[in-house]
Amino acid sequence: MNKITSFTIDHIKLIPGIYVSRKDFAGETPITTFDIRMTSPNDEPVMNTAEVHTIEHLGATFLRNHATFKNKVLYFGPMGCRTGFYLLLTGDYEPHDIVPLMKEMFTFIAEFQGEMPGASARDCGNYLDMNLPMARWTANKYLKEVLLDIQDSQLYYPD
**pLDDT range class, residue 155, cuts 50, 70, 90:** very high
* DSSP characters over 24-93: EEETTEEEEEEEEE-S-TTTSPPPPHHHHHHHHHHHHHHHHT-TTTTTTEEEEEE-TTSSEEEEEEES--
DSSP class of residue 6 equals G
Give the C-alpha separation, 79 to 75, whole Å. 12
- 47-101 pLDDT, tens digit per residue, is 999 999 999 999 999 999 999 999 999 999 999 999 999 999 999 999 999 999 9
Report the distance separating Cα 81 and Cα 123, nearest Å.
25
Average the pLDDT over 18-42 and give the result. 97
pLDDT of residue 46: 95
Contact 146, 17 (CB under 8 A): yes
Instruction: For 89-124, write each residue's pLDDT tens digit.
Output: 999 999 999 999 999 999 999 999 999 999 999 999
Q: Which domains does the chain show, CATH number per domain?
A: 5-154 (3.30.1360.80)
Distance set, CA 79 to CA 15, 28, 52, 85 (Å): 15, 27, 9, 5
Q: Give the list of residues 6+ apart from residue 9 with CB closer than 8 angstroms, or none.
A: 157, 158
Q: Give pTM, 2 decimals.
A: 0.96
Per-residue pLDDT tens over the stretch 121-143: 999 999 999 999 999 999 999 99
